[in-house]
Amino acid sequence: MKSFNEQVWELCRKIPKGRVATYKEIARTLDTKAYRSVGNALNKNPYAPEVPCHRVIKSNGKLGGFAHGIKKKEELLRKEKVFFVNGKLSRKILYFSFKNSSS
DNA sequence: CTAATGACATTTG
DNA sequence: ACAAATGCCATTA
């Protein structure tokens, strides 16, 4: 049984480029409501460049936070063709769904 | 085990 | 629509 954090990191790793997921969605995939802990896990994310934690944003469409600086997160997402307006996600961007990856 | 913290979410004002 | 307050869950001290 992996720790909650590891599960969060694995899910983030599944997020494709040009797509963004919400903390709530990740928590829901883990069958929990700990969106708080999800963000917490990403903050402690030891696999910073390995896991695209910058692709995880708030459910209300806002950026949320970032351990390396919220500004950096915005820049990274911009490179991924994910544009933000007034610190909010552009509506042209679709959220990513983890769905059932289990067999 | 108890208390405090946090990259959130939802409800009120 | 925005700002503040409250609730939530797991991690860490």
Question: Residue with structure tokens 């928590």?
Answer: A27
A12 catalytic, yes or no? no
* C-alpha pair distances (Å), A72 with each of A43, A65, A98: 14, 10, 25
Nucleic strand C under 7 Å from the C-beta of A33: yes
Of A53, A57, A89, A93, the catalytic one is A53
Predicted pLDDT at A101: 54
Q: What is the pLDDT of residues A6-58, one digit of tens each?
A: 999 999 999 999 999 999 999 999 999 999 999 999 999 999 888 999 999 99
pLDDT(A92) > 60: yes
